[in-house]
Amino acid sequence: MGKAIVDPIADAFGSLAVDWQEVDECPEATADNPYGEPAYATVRIRLPHESSAEVTIAEAVWSDRFKRPPWWMRWLLTLGYLIRSLPAVLMLIGPDRRDHAFWLDDPSPKKRPFLSALCSGLNLWGYLASPDFRHFMRVGWRLLTLALLLSALVGLGAEYPWLSVGISLIVFVLLATRINVADHVITAAARDVERDRLLDYLESRLRWLEQRCESVVIIAHSQGGYLAHQLLTRDGGRNQEGVRRFVGVGSGLKPISILGQTRRPAVMVVSWLLPAASLCLTWGILPLTSDAPTMSRIMKALADATMLMAMPVAALASERGTTQLNGVVDSLRPHSVDDFLPFDVTGIEGWRWALIGAGVLILLCCVPAVRRITKPAERSFLELPQGSRGKLDWQEHSSQHDVVGRMLLPVLPEGVEQEATPVLGHPLRDHTLYFAPDGILVRHLAGDLLVDLQEATRQNFRAEEWQEKVARYSQALRKQHDRRRMFHGLLTLAVTFVVLIPRLALGASLPGAVLHAWLPLGVAAIILSYLFTRRGHKSLREAVAALDTELRGESSHKPLLAVLPPDRRLVTAVALTLGSFLAATGALWLTYIQQFLPQWQLSHPGAGLIGGVVLVVLAAATASGYRVKRRWALGAAVLTLLPPIASRVPHSPGLPTWAAAPGLASSATVVLLVSVAVIALTRAVPVALPARCKDDMGRGADCEVLR
């Protein structure tokens, strides 16, 4: 960790700027150091012709300092604790820091004029861009992922029982080894004696460092963040006297604190009652989602309508066109009073009504208990006591997707949580790559180190310039991450739509459709996750390389990305989406017509399907903020024109050729929609990042155009 933080300084100011002298750990115990001396490094930082200072970097590795249970009991104790804390799985799909505006901001409505409130309510795009919609989409994505994982487990267990047994044995073996990281968490959350021993060890390391340094900065990663927090709260904050700053990185403070709170009987009862209420409600209302007649009728109407657009214009003047139109109207017309309802409440048995009532009753009983447990007066257990030096500078860094550090609740003191750290956007890889040599966080911490040296020595270490450059590239990486994650989500949504809609149209329930489609959905999720994670890693390396170029004082790098402003995406995205739907459905109908009318010589009926796939990808990219190339959209439109231009269909003499061209109506509509999208793209001016804007006084200011 320490070497990764000072290496960017050596890269920026030359190899002679950092002199690293490392000393190995000495495990021999003495009266002053009962745990021996830690491994440490003495670092001399010299800026050319300017400043010089010395830093001591020591490590405190706690993971081998506590006694573990025997290997034959380790897996059993771990599984027992995991089963006991099973409701904690809800933390994985719960709110994160991005949902702050939805959960924690002031919910009191502001009075607005009636017309303004009405226009705001009808602004669909404004709602789609709001934090509320993004919150529900994230929760829905996590629920879909959880349902997909459960479906995959059920499917594997049913089709390949021996494979399931083999995987279970591998898990048991891993839980009996030192790789069992869950046992570390259990030690911190539930084993008081072992945790106190760890804190004694960390306190000894802190005393060793205080004897050699004027001030101390603690940087703690993952579970170390929880232990360091416990160390600084010990005995009213006695260990804060020599500490200047406490930095948590991907900290396990929140999840381990919640696991520790489950030892309270009230919290444990509520944590089990809430999932029980959810299961009761889900099982009770299951018949309401067992079929989808409304969806089937809508899908039939869409199919008939697109069939009309795939037929030649000459064929629509006959009885066939009238029949198709009547089919569209008949599909949408309700045939009984029950058709006006989204579901049939009369088909629910009495015991299901009892489950629904029990679920509602449990929820009503849990609401006051949750409010009492989580009220602000009782959420101060994470605050640090004020030491003799005053309020400690406490910072928490985490990515938006780190499965350990991203949690929103419990709330930390104001100003502690920093802006999201750009990593990859992967819940597991993010947690392990904060201190990677090509990461942005180590350069941020290097800037903090230069600030500390500048304040301590009253010398110039160019800290302000360093921090300004790191801040600009961090903002650019966050915007790049946001558009990449949205692109990933929209493509996942498109694949899910394509896979599930046919099953839902045939009357399947949503859980049943996911259960039966786990294999294609799982394969698509793995492929998309791999592609976007790899692209994220490449983008991160490119941005950090450009940042290093600026830190070395070389010429500024050209803008790394161009992001479309949110108000310039709607027209293009909607036009391309509609065009992709018409192109794909038109191609499917042409293929269907070719099978039943072999005398029609249809050429390239699948070209429209390829064009539809291209258009939906371009629509997702545009909605995410990418500036797509206009020739790609025009090329997809040309593909949809191939069947009506190249096909030969028998027609009456004297009838214009265009009237007998199959798929002409859908292709012409696609071309029109693509033309609208291309015009909107031409008028949209992207914002280049990273860049420095100028305020009204001509001074530099970070770009804030993309919020």
Integer-rounded Cα radius of gyration of the chain: 31
What's the pLDDT tens digit per position in 357-378? 888 888 788 777 766 665 544 4
Most confident of 74-78, 121-125, 363-367, 453-457: 453-457
Output phi, psi for 201, to 5 deg: -65, -45
pTM given for the model: 0.82
Residue 405 binned pLDDT confidence (cut-offs 50, 70, 90): confident
Neighbours of 214 (CB within 10 A): 8
Specify the pLDDT at position 329.
46
Please say if the pLDDT value at position 106 is more than 70. Answer: no
Residue range 70-90: mean pLDDT, rounded:
81
Q: 489-511 burial, b for 16+ CB within 10 Å, e for fewer?
A: bbbbebbbeebbeebbbeebbee
Which residues contact residue 372 at a Cβ distance below 8 angstroms, ignoring those fewer than 6 apart? Answer: 378
Neighbours of 239 (CB within 10 A): 23
Specify the pLDDT at position 309.
66
Residue 469 binned pLDDT confidence (cut-offs 50, 70, 90): very high
The CA distance from 638 to 641, in Å, is: 5
Tell which residue, 658, 646, 624, has the closest CA to residue 535: 624
What's the pLDDT tens digit per position in 542-573? 999 999 999 998 876 677 888 888 888 888 99
Residue range 224-230: mean pLDDT, rounded:
93
Specify the pLDDT at position 127.
59
SS3 string, 171-209, reads HHHHHCCCCCHHHHHHHHHHCHHHHHHHHHHHHHHHHHH
Specify the pLDDT at position 695.
42
390 DSSP assignment: B
Tell which residue, 520, 667, 656, has the closest CA to residue 589: 667
Residue range 12-34: mean pLDDT, rounded:
88
The CA distance from 310 to 305, in Å, is: 9
Residue 178 binned pLDDT confidence (cut-offs 50, 70, 90): confident
Paired residues of 46 in beta bridges: 52
Residue 325 binned pLDDT confidence (cut-offs 50, 70, 90): very low
Assigned token pair, 461: 């270490």
Residue 414 carries which side chain, given as an amino acid letter?
Answer: E
Specify the pLDDT at position 528.
92
Domain extent listing, the chain: 561-689
3-class DSSP state of 687:
strand
Residue range 133-153: mean pLDDT, rounded:
74
Q: In 597-625, where does DSSP find H-type helix? A: 607-624
The CA distance from 220 to 347, in Å, is: 57
Full strand arrangement of the beta sheet holding 243-249: 216-221, 243-249, 393-397
Higher-pLDDT residue of 559, 614: 614
Output phi, psi for 437, to 5 deg: -60, -30
The CA distance from 683 to 571, in Å, is: 11
Higher-pLDDT residue of 366, 467: 467
Q: How many helices (H) and strands (E) does the chain have?
A: 26, 10
417 DSSP assignment: B
The CA distance from 385 to 233, in Å, is: 6
**Average pLDDT of every residue of the chain:** 79
User: 347: burial class by Cβ within 10 Å (0-12, 13-18, 19+)?
Assistant: exposed
Answer positive or negative: Cα dihedral of 476, 480, 485, 486.
Answer: positive
What's the pLDDT tens digit per position in 622-674? 999 998 899 999 999 998 888 877 776 666 666 665 566 677 778 888 899 99
Which residues contact residue 288 at a Cβ distance below 8 angstroms, ignoring those fewer than 6 apart? Answer: 343, 344, 345, 348
Assigned token pair, 54: 């010395």
Length of the chain: 707
Residue for token digits 């109908």? 589
Side-chain half-sphere exposure of 153, counting CA atoms within 13 A = 8
Please say if the pLDDT value at position 700 is more than 50. Answer: no
What's the pLDDT tens digit per position in 666-678? 888 889 999 999 9
Residues 454/460, Cβ–Cβ less than 8 Å: yes
Specify the pLDDT at position 653.
65
Assigned token pair, 622: 């545009």
Residue 312 binned pLDDT confidence (cut-offs 50, 70, 90): low
Please say if the pLDDT value at position 341 is more than 50. Answer: no
Residue 48 binned pLDDT confidence (cut-offs 50, 70, 90): confident
DSSP letter string, 223-272: HHHHHHHHHHHGGGTGGGTTEEEEEEES--HHHHHHHHHTTSHHHHHHHH
Assigned token pair, 339: 């058709």
Identify the H or E element spanning 9.
Answer: helix 2-13
